[in-house]
Structure 1
Amino acid sequence: MVNFELYKVFYLTAKSGSLSKAAKELYITQPSVSHSIKLLEDQLKLQLFARTSKGVELTKEGSVLFSYIEQAYNFISLAEAKLHELLTFSSGEIKIGGSDSLCKHYLLPFLESFHDQYPHVQINLVNGTTPEIVKQLKEGKIDIGIVRTPILDEQMQVREGITIQDCFVTGPKYRELALGKVSLADLLKYPIILFSSNSSSRKFVTRLFSDHDLMLEPEIELGSVDLLIEFAKIGFGVSFVTKEFVAKELAEGSLFEVNLNATIPSTKIGIITLRNMPLSTAAAAFIAKLENPVLG
C-alpha cells in the first residue's frame, strides 16, 4: 500500500509544475520532494514526471494518475471543509450547479432569502448543462445540482422541487399562433428557436415531436433562455421556454403563448446531490429552503 503522503507530494508537484513550489507549499526541502516522487515512481513502477527547462511536467502515465488523485484531493478538502462547518454556522460555503435559466428564474429568490438569513455563508454558482452538473457532483466540485428531471443515475439522490410547464411562445409577428388551435405538424412550418442540442430542455421537446412521428429541426439554436425570449419577441420565430420564466412577458403582451392542440407534459425541477455523501450544514439548510419554500 502506497503511503498517501506520497500522493499529496505528487498532486502538489503536478498542480504547480515545480518541485520548488511544491516544497514551499509542503514546508519541506526540494530534495525531499524529489525523493518522495522517486519513491512513488518506484512503488508504482512507472515514470510520472519528465523534467523540462521550466520545471516538471506529467508523463502520460502521470496524467492518468493525476485525474484520479485530483478527485480524491477534492473530496478530502470537501470533507475537511464540512467538518469545519459543523463547528459553526457563522462560516461555510455552498457550491451550487445549474443552468443560467434555472439560476436566474428559479434559484435567485431562494439565494436572496438564504443570504439574508446566513450572511456569512459563501455561495458559489457553477453554470452548466445537466450532464456537466452531474459530472461536477461526482467529482466533488459542487454540493448541489439544480436540473430538470428525470435524472436516471443511481449515484444521484434526487429531491423534487417545483413543477414547471413548458410552452411555445412568439412575438407579435406570429401572433396568429396564439389565436386558433395549432398542431405540432403545423408549428413546424414556422421557424423554431431552441436551446442547444445538449440541454435537457432540447431533449425533452425533441422527444415530444418524436412521439408524434415528427422530426424537429430548429432554425436557430441558442444558449440561454434570455436569448430565446428576445429572439421570439423581435420576430425571429417560435421559442420553446418554461412558462413560469416568461410570466411577465406573457402578462404584458410582448410574448404570446402558442395555442397548441397537443399537450406538453409538465416536468419537475430536481435538486440533486451525490448519494451517500453527507451534506454540509449549510447545504442541508439550503435544500430545506428549496423543499419548503413557504416555510423557508
Structure 2
Amino acid sequence: MRKGNKTMNTNFEHYRIFYYVAKYGNLTKAATVLHTSQPSVTRTIHNLEKNLNCRLFERSKVGMKLTPEGEVFYEYIAAGCAQFFKAESNLSDMLSLENGTIYVSATETALHCYLFQAMESFNEQYPNVHFKILNNSTRKSINIVKEGNVDFAVVSAPFQIEKPLQQKVLRKYHDILIGGKRFEELKGQKISIKQLAQYPWISLTPEAITRKFLNQYFEKNGLKFEADMELATTDMILPAVRHNLGIGFIPPEFAKDDLESGEVFEIEVKETFPQRNIILIYDTEYPQSIAAKAFLRFLN
C-alpha cells in the first residue's frame, strides 16, 4: 500500500489485529482472542490509522465502531484474512496426515478382501499415516466401535446396529467352493449342493456368523449342513483343503495364489452362493481425527 509516493511497511499482524477489533467491536475481547494486552492492541490500531492517514474506528464507552472508511477497509481485510485462515487450516490438516494414526477393528475376511488393499493405496498418498488394526469378529468389532476404542470397523457379516452407529457397504462378493487334488472328479462340471453334501466339509465353528450364513444356505436348499472339520479362522480353511481334508467355501482372495498354481481348484456349484458384503461401521457422534476422516473419504 502507498501513501503518496511512499511505500507502507504495515505487516500482516496489524491487519489481523484490525480484523478482530472490527469483528468484535471491542478492544478487550480482541486482545483476549489474540492472546495479547489491550494497550498493545490500542497501539497497533493507532499506528495503522497513522499509516493510512485516516480514522478507522469511532471510539465510545460501548466499544469500537467502524467509520465509513473503516468499513470499506474491513471488506478487503476480512476477505484476505479468510484466505490466510483457510490456508492455515489446510496446512494443519496436511501436517496431521503426515503423522496421524488410524484405529480400525476388522474381521479377517474384511482385511483380506478389502482393507489391506485400501490401506496400501491410501499409504501411497499418505505414507506417514499409521494404522493400528485389531483383528476381531463382527460382533466384537461393533462393540469396540460403540465403546469408542477405534475410529471405525470393517466387517464381513450383516449385523443389527442402532443409532448413532451407521453402516455402509464397501464391496460385494461371493464365496467360492474349493477342493484339493483328492476331489479332482469334481473339476470342470457344475454340481448341485445336494450331491456335494455327501463330501467331507470344512467350515468355521458354529458360533461364527459365517458358519450361520452357510447353515442358512444349506437350509434354503432343503439340506442340513454338517461339518467334518471345524476351524477357528477363515485362513485355516485353505491349508486344510490343500491337504485334501475336505471341501469348503472361502472368499476368492484367500485362495488366489493356490488357484493359480493348481494346488486347489474351484468347484462350480449349480446353486449360487448368496452375495456377501464388506461393511463399514462407524459412530456418527465419535470425534474423528483428521487422518481417520481422510481415510473414510478415501473408502467412500
Normalised TM-score (structure 2): 0.63
CA contact (8 A) 1:170 1:239 kept: yes
Corresponding residue pairs, total: 208
Which of residues 101, 104, 116 in structure 2 aligns to 1:93? 101
Report the alpha carbon displacement of residue 168 of structure 1 after superposing the two structures with TM.
1.2
Question: Which structure 2 residues correspond to residues 112-261 of structure 1 after superposition, within 5 A?
Answer: 112-155=120-163, 156-261=165-270
Q: Find the residue that maps to 2:198 and give its secondary structure.
A: coil
**Per-residue CA distance 1:66-120 (angstroms, 9 max, x = gap):** xxxxxxxxxxxxxxxxxx9898333322111112333244222222232333233
- Where does the alignment leave 5 or more consecutive residues of structure 1 unmatched? 1-83, 292-296
Larger Rg: 2
Amino acid at match of 1:112: E
Over the aligned positions, Cα root-mean-square deviation in angstroms equals 2.2
Q: Which amino acid is 1:242 matched to?
A: P
Q: How far, CA to CA, are the matches of 2:299 and 2:187 in structure 1?
A: 34
Give, in angstroms, the shift of residue 262 of structure 1.
0.7
Letter in 2 for 1:240: F
Equivalent position of 2:281 in the other structure: 272
Report matched runs for 1:29-48 at 5 Å: none
Unaligned runs of 5+ in 2: 1-91
Counterpart AA for 2:149: K
- Separation in 1, partners of 2:121, 2:232: 28
Read off the aligned partner of 2:152 and give its amino acid letter.
I
Q: CA deviation at 1:127?
A: 0.7
Deviation, 1:173, is: 0.6
Q: Which one is further off, 99-108 or 213-222?
A: 99-108
* Displacement of 1:282: 1.2
Contact 1:85 1:280 in 2 (8 A): no
CA distance in 2 between counterparts of 1:244 and 1:157 reads 27
TM-score (norm 1): 0.64
Q: 8 Å contact 1:94–1:121 — kept in the other structure? A: yes
> CA separation in 2, counterparts of 1:224 and 1:106?
17
**Whole-angstrom CA distance in 1 between matches of 2:189 and 2:115:** 35
SS in 2 for 1:125: strand
Indicate the SS of the match to 1:258.
Answer: strand
**Cα deviation digits, residues 250-279 of structure 1 (max 9, x gap):** 233221111211111222211111233343
Contact 1:157 1:273 in 2 (8 A): yes
Alpha-carbon shift at residue 147 of structure 1 (Å): 0.8
Contact 1:98–1:128 (Cα < 8 Å) also in 2: yes
Residue 289 of structure 1 pairs with residue 289 of structure 2: no
Cα distance in 2 for residues equivalent to 1:284 and 1:150 = 24
Distance 1:136 1:233 in 2: 35
Where 2:281 maps in the other structure, the secondary structure is strand
1:205: Cα distance to partner? 1.2
Residue type at the aligned position of 1:93: T
Deviation at 1:146, TM superposition (A): 0.9
Amino acid at match of 2:203: L
Partner-residue secondary structure (3-state), 1:221: strand
1:86/1:280 contact within 8 Å kept:
no
1:210 partner amino acid:
E
- Between the aligned residues of both structures, percent identity stands at 29
Quick one: distance in 1 between partners of 2:133 and 2:143? 15
Alpha-carbon distance in structure 2 between the residues aligned to 1:149 and 1:224? 14
Q: What is the letter of the counterpart of residue 126 of structure 1?
A: L
SS at structure 2 position matched to 1:218: coil
- Partner SS, residue 189 of structure 1: coil
